[in-house]
Structure 1
Amino acid sequence: MTGVQTCALPILLSFVLGTVLWLIGVLNHDALFRAMGADAELLPEIWAYMVYWWPGSILLLALMMQNASLRAMGNTKLPSLMMLAAAMLNAMLDPLLIFGLGPIPAMGIGGASLASGICWAIVLGVIMQQQIRQGYVSFVELTLKQMLALWRRLLELGIPAMITNLLVPVAGAILLSMIANSGEAAVAGFGVGMRFDSFLLSLVLALTATLPAFIAQNHAAGNDDRIWLVMNYSLRLVVIAQLSICAVLWLVAEPLAQLFSEDAEVVKVTVMYLHWLPLGYIGMGIVLCVNAALNSLQRTVISMVLNTVRLFVFYVLGAVIGLQLDGVRGLLIGAALGNLLAGGIVWWLMLRMQSRGELSFGSFQLSLDRISRH
């Protein structure tokens, strides 16, 4: 099977899965949102938005597949440019479709989801055209047997990765439920702190998006020594960058918190959040980078195990112990220490394998396999 075919098949799979989810969502729309707490008065407003979002989600899934395929081939520039263009186009279409202009009627909340769908369709079309032009996508050579075989393999790899991603908000919800017992100010302060997470983890997220392509290509070429090299440099970069961010946050946490709230208690919790929890992002960044490497080597089950252990054995358990010892402050410190400990153990495993002279990154996979079996 050619690389051209394997690039096309995930896109087809995304259309199939997206269509199935669309039908399930449309047929169970009212029941789904009632289960989420929506009352009868809100259902028409929700439908006005979701009627365009459901079909648009098919395009979004295909777009995510395309971006992943391009990154796997070493092209990280085009996906980034296209997503930036989509954001700019969305910013222009939103007011036009929400409020209307001239012959274009005002669509209200539905206009927002329609604008997103239009942007996704345009970006999807542009990227698809580029892939076809460069010979990366071809639907001519596909056979049903090849299609089903690769789809099965993709799902075998994708389902553990999906579970890994689902566990993150679950762990976050557990922490939020624990903080809820400390009062509204604590919840509000925690919520303000969470708004900074995307920025604080931007380097880590960038590495997890780019490492898989580098690692997979070098592993296929037999250059495992380069994989070890880039992993060690990446983890050092995570430590240095996150420590630098933490140092800055200790200086500016209070004025940042005051931008979001004037309530003294909310500001106090936000400052504690920005002082302590980002320290744990050092360990979390280490684990996430290793997870990205394992996913690129098709070891998604091991990646899932690592992240599950980090979240529920170290992160959540550390938060529980900290809450009992020192309230909200203890919870944040405990969660941070849990992440640091998890990251330290994962890095230690890597260094241990290297110190034994086992320079093949595949040996690290086998080591984790043995750990998971025992």
Structure 2
Amino acid sequence: MSETILTSKKLSIFQLFKQAVRGDVKDFTTGSIDRAIFLLAVPMILEMVLESVFALVDIYFVNKISSEASSTVGLTEAALTILYSVAWGLAMGIMALVARRTGEKDFNAASAVAAQGIIVAVFFSFIISIIGFIFPKEILSFMGASTKVVQENYRFTQIMLTGNIVIMLLFVNNAIFRGAGDASIAMRTLLIANAINIVLDPLLIFGIGPFPKMGLLGAAVATTIGRSVGVMYQFYHLFNGKEIIKLVKKQFVVNFEIINSILKTSFGGMFQFIIGSCSWIFLARIIAESGESTTSGYVTAIRICIFTILPAWGLANAAASLVGQNLGAGQPDRAEKSVWRTAFLTLLFFALVSVIFFFFGEILMRFFTSDEVAVKAGTLCLHILAIGYIFFAYGMIIVQAFNGAGDTKTPTIINIFIYWVLQIPLAYFMAKYLKMGPTGVYIAIGISETILAVVGIIIFKKGKWKLVKV
């Protein structure tokens, strides 16, 4: 009898998993909250895992070129965080509006928001492309790269920044699908993009078979091609008329009322990520002063962290979608319960990751690099961050819950205090005045993220986010 029950439960979970991947359910305003979290989170987690694979695949092959190449990727990624900030912020605002309109069952309005959001994304990416094409050397120099790295590898930075439109659209289009409760398409988009990147990376970097040996440039070209195909797949689903969001050409006439609403909701999200990105840029510069091998180790360790943080972002995005849809359906209590439940599940995940980082950090580093200095620096980074990792869970989920409700102002204020008032001065003081170097930077990151979680929980419990109108 017990075996039958156990088999039935396994079958039920498997069926739910298949349902989540297929994306059959779009409405999450009724039924079990745990079931809603599972159906939304599974494709979002898989999506974020696939997004993090981009980073790991690139750094795996680039580390085989040289530490200078790895350092270039890391410093370029640090510069690209500004772009990611704009993309994430814009995506948050669009997701919040699409989720709210979807919760209200106003699908035409949700589609209108999606179209105008794409217009805004293209506008921002055009400006960044011009800057990236003209000033790649200056950007790398500003990030602390050596003269040799700048002269030999600036074209990698140029390609990544000039072709940023595919990054921007990838973020925004997937936010549209998530807001509409259709996370499975977002997941499949990243699966396609990753598959292409994984195949092209070694072919173009090392010149295998008929492909030219492009070195570091090959990584940039492979990533850009993969993401471009992913964007085309997204547009196919947005325009085929079979999904909740149905885009048509006439919707792509500039509507300043909708754009103003998007920017008003997105601005806080953009600014809060720019705040965090500027902090990471400052920290990267401190690390860069310790040498290219140490920078390479830091970059590799951060890529490993991203591999674990992005799946957790899948849970955070699930929480944001649930908040938006349930507030739109007039169910604030259900929205709050969804957040606490998702935060607890994320806590369990991060606790497991912390144990892995603490006991197997060196093994993970050696998988990606044989540079002993890089291994030592990266292992230390993983060990220190592991201590504060479990606090990241609540901070991440709470901040996304605010954004999902359309309250991007609150997390922006929190980020200003945590990153600019606390993290940057603390990292500089510990690294420079206490002569702790990179160790001081790692400790400052752990302390600031822990405090962010505590502050976020206190403010979230007050419940003002339930009253936000978008």
Does the pair score TM above 0.5?
Answer: yes
Deviation at 1:74, TM superposition (A): 0.7
Query: Would the alpha carbon gap of residues 201 and 91 (structure 1) be closer, same or farther in structure 2, given more than 3 Å must change?
Result: closer
Aligned pair 1:84/2:191, yes or no? yes
Aligned pair 1:164/2:272, yes or no? yes
Aligned pair 1:194/2:298, yes or no? no
Q: Can you list the C-alpha shifts for 1:300-335, whole angstroms capped at 9, x where unaligned? A: 122211122222344445556766679465664454
Q: Can you list the C-alpha shifts for 1:178-197, whole angstroms capped at 9, x where unaligned? A: 56777888766645533421
CA distance in 1, matches of 2:292, 2:209: 42
Three-state SS of the structure 2 residue aligned to 1:196 is helix
Query: Would the alpha carbon gap of residues 152 and 258 (structure 1) be closer, same or farther in structure 2, given more than 3 Å must change?
Result: same
How high is the sequence identity, in percent, across the aligned residues? 19
Three-state SS of the structure 1 residue aligned to 2:251 is coil
Aligned pair 1:362/2:462, yes or no? no
Q: Please list every run of 5 or more consecutive structure 2 residues that lacks an aligned counterpart in the other structure.
A: 1-107
For the 8 Å contact 2:128–2:162, the answer to whether it is kept is no
Deviation at 1:158, TM superposition (A): 2.5
Q: Can you list the C-alpha shifts for 1:274-322, whole angstroms capped at 9, x where unaligned? A: 3332232333332221221111222212221112222234444555676
RMSD across aligned positions (CA): 4.0
One-letter code aligned to 2:275: L
Map of 1:324-339 to 2, 5 A cutoff?
327=436, 332-333=442-443, 335-339=445-449
Indicate the residue corresponding to 1:371 in structure 2: none
For the 8 Å contact 1:315–1:334, the answer to whether it is kept is yes
Aligned pair 1:340/2:450, yes or no? yes
Alignment match of 2:338 (pick from 197, 209, 230)? 230
For the 8 Å contact 2:402–2:465, the answer to whether it is kept is no
Query: Would the alpha carbon gap of residues 73 and 275 (structure 1) be closer, same or farther in structure 2, given more than 3 Å must change?
Result: same
Aligned pair 1:137/2:246, yes or no? yes
Deviation at 1:71, TM superposition (A): 0.7
CA distance in 2, matches of 1:186, 1:225: 48
For the 8 Å contact 1:171–1:311, the answer to whether it is kept is yes
CA distance in 2, matches of 1:34, 1:268: 26
For the 8 Å contact 1:56–1:116, the answer to whether it is kept is no
Q: Can you list the C-alpha shifts for 1:231-254, whole angstroms capped at 9, x where unaligned? A: 111222233322232233333335
Map of 1:1-374 to 2, 5 A cutoff?
2-26=109-133, 46-47=154-155, 50=158, 56-94=163-201, 99=207, 112-133=219-240, 134=242, 136-142=245-251, 144=253, 147-176=255-284, 190-257=298-365, 260=369, 263=372, 270-316=378-424, 319=427, 327=436, 332-333=442-443, 335-351=445-461, 353=462, 361-362=465-466
Deviation at 1:21, TM superposition (A): 3.3
Which of the pair has more CA radius of gyration?
1
Tell me which of the two structures has the higher relative contact order, counting C-alpha pairs closer than 8 angstroms and 6 or more residues apart. 2
Query: Would the alpha carbon gap of residues 148 and 91 (structure 1) be closer, same or farther in structure 2, given more than 3 Å must change?
Result: same
Larger mean CA deviation between 68-77 and 78-87 belongs to 78-87
Deviation at 1:75, TM superposition (A): 1.0
Query: Would the alpha carbon gap of residues 245 and 110 (structure 1) be closer, same or farther in structure 2, given more than 3 Å must change?
Result: closer
CA distance in 1, matches of 2:149, 2:252: 49
What number of residue pairs does the alignment pair up?
A: 355
CA distance in 2, matches of 1:63, 1:8: 14
Three-state SS of the structure 2 residue aligned to 1:2 is helix
For the 8 Å contact 1:314–1:335, the answer to whether it is kept is no
